Structure 1
């Protein structure tokens, strides 16, 4: 079953093209990572899928339905988002922040039910944040806050989860912890995950398939073993590398060897 499909998506900021002829289909229950250099269009692609950036033509589909025909509230029942950073303007408790994921299902002035609380407790136990439920979101660490935001996406109970550089500001322990949690949740609930990541090797380890973007175009897409090559890393990142097999997982592992001086 296809969760997300994109057909000839073009997007530009004013007169500057950012995405050109983007076309792909993503299966239900798979973990996909989008890789590419800065400015390649990764976040812009996610925002088109989220309907933050609106396109005048039918080109993005969720479960076969054109997103231009889906209301914002209905779309939030189909996909959830874990952003790179979340700024809290008010002093919510961690539990209250997680329960915001139930907002799409509540009527105006309606409060969360006992089943909503159970969903939040279950998700927060998975992310090891239940013990923080009564703490202020402003008093916990960056890693704890990011895990709580993952919990919020979980209780939103969607079939698709988008992650926009969710671990860029975290140490390696918390990076692995969050990706491992999301990957396990994806497999157990058959949720499609689409993650924009900067760390190539982390993306390789957790992804079923990689999308490699450069200058707004898809250069390759497929299993890490097929698309991660020295030639492709050189083309995308202008960097020489050596690729070995991770002795633990058997997947490719990229080791930079020298930087090209051909230009930025």
Structure 2
């Protein structure tokens, strides 16, 4: 099945009657799994990616659900990947960015043997990547017979990175680019990041761009409002290289921050109030 044809669970009209599992799981192949959290449990319904190499496993984002009521993202991940000898490999937990709906499941990985959780904080991300001039440069990580390239792409959020999977030719962009309403905190950084990714796809084959959510309907330019728990007409997860190129062309035409509406996504600069709230959350998080 192609990624564009995956019938993701898209919530329910009455979530009190919803009996779908916590995680909607799609095995692309025996070493590549995409997970979506139940929209009735979190309207964000974020996507996580599990990429398995012969020596290491990379978990990208742990979702919006904290480890409570018996749910453990780490336990669930190991269960759905048991066919890949998950237990025998080093596990690296990394995040597309530091917004809370992408790292609430981290605690279930903490303290596990042979597991490294990269805290979603800028200093920790820079330390892990080993880059000396953030956000410039990129780092390639060898998972064993599988390489992934990690690219700093701030703009939506300060710590944002994009992950390129050399095996599947996937560009995993988190909330930097996805079929939804993309809020941009730093407009100039975002312009530079999208331009960087556009240059990257010129040099590397990319089959699909995979983001952190689905918020768009199948009607071009229309998205479901924040908080929606039922999206019966939602669009597919993958975006195309052409979507990226089109966005970059529009961004490079003007330096002015402005709302940009495309068929498959909408880019919206944050307001001053939204930026202030974001900074407060960053301060509170750094104090923990």
Query: More helix by proportion, 1 or 2?
Result: 1
- Fold match, TM over 0.5? no
Structure with the greater alpha carbon radius of gyration: 1
Give TM-score, length-normalised by structure 1: 0.37
Query: More strand by proportion, 1 or 2?
Result: 1
